[in-house]
Amino acid sequence: MAVLEVLQYPDPRLKQVSVPVTLFDARLRAFLADLEATMRAGPGSVGIAAPQVNHFLRVAIIDVSSKPKIPQHGCLRLINPEIMQRAGELKGREGCMSVPDYTGTVVRAQSVRVRAQDADGQWHEFDCEGYEARAVQHEIDHLDGLLFLDRIVSPRHDLFRRKR
């Protein structure tokens, strides 16, 4: 297991679109372990995507279990993830290991249904909401070459959040 180097914007490789995983082998499992170690080494990081460590495969890991009292699935290792459904909208602050010293306000779907394969190639579905859903959308964006910088909105525009 190794902590990998994290690419930082303006590295153009972060804008690259990643390709689906086709081989569910020992190398993939070793990469997942390295990717997770890299995420846990990043202070406060709750997610990571393969292109952030210069691997252009559709792989992301999300683990928001360090945050108390929120709906979550523990450590999600998502391979070839796809968002099947989105509902609602929510503003929130985001930062990124690939964009140091900047955080911004981003509007994300309040809840998402995600379909992804596990390390053995089996498909699973997850219903994520709130903070976890935000992390899932942020990481899947990386697989499509998108950063949260592509989605920032002015925090001043909407003085009041809609009451739900």
Partner 1 sequence: MSAPAKQDAQWHMLTVVGTDRPGIVAKLTEALFRGGCNLGEASMVRLGGNFSIMLMVEGTNATALEQLVQPVTDALGLRVHIDAIHGGLHQHVEPNVQVTVYGADRPGIVAQATAALAATGFNILDLNTTVGGTASQPIYIMMIDGLAAEGVATVERAIAPLRTGGIEVSVTALDTMIG
Is 139 part of the annotated catalytic residue set? yes
Which residues, numbered 45-84, are part of the site for partner 1 (CB under 8 A)?
45-49, 62, 67
Reported as half-sphere exposure (CB side, CA atoms, 13 A), residue 53 has a value of 25
Question: Is residue 94 at the binding interface for partner 1, with CB under 8 A as the rule?
Answer: yes
Token pair for residue 18? 């990643």
Cα separation, 25 vs 27, whole angstroms: 5
CB 97 within 8 A of CB 23: no
Question: Is residue 156 at the binding interface for partner 1, with CB under 8 A as the rule?
Answer: yes
Question: Is residue 134 at the binding interface for partner 1, with CB under 8 A as the rule?
Answer: yes
Nearer to partner 1, 121 or 152 (CB): 152
Cα separation, 129 vs 142, whole angstroms: 19
Binding residues for partner 1, rule: CB under 8 A, are 42-49, 62, 67, 92-97, 101-103, 131, 134-135, 138-139, 142, 148, 155-156, 159-160
Instruction: Provide the annotated active-site residues.
Output: 139
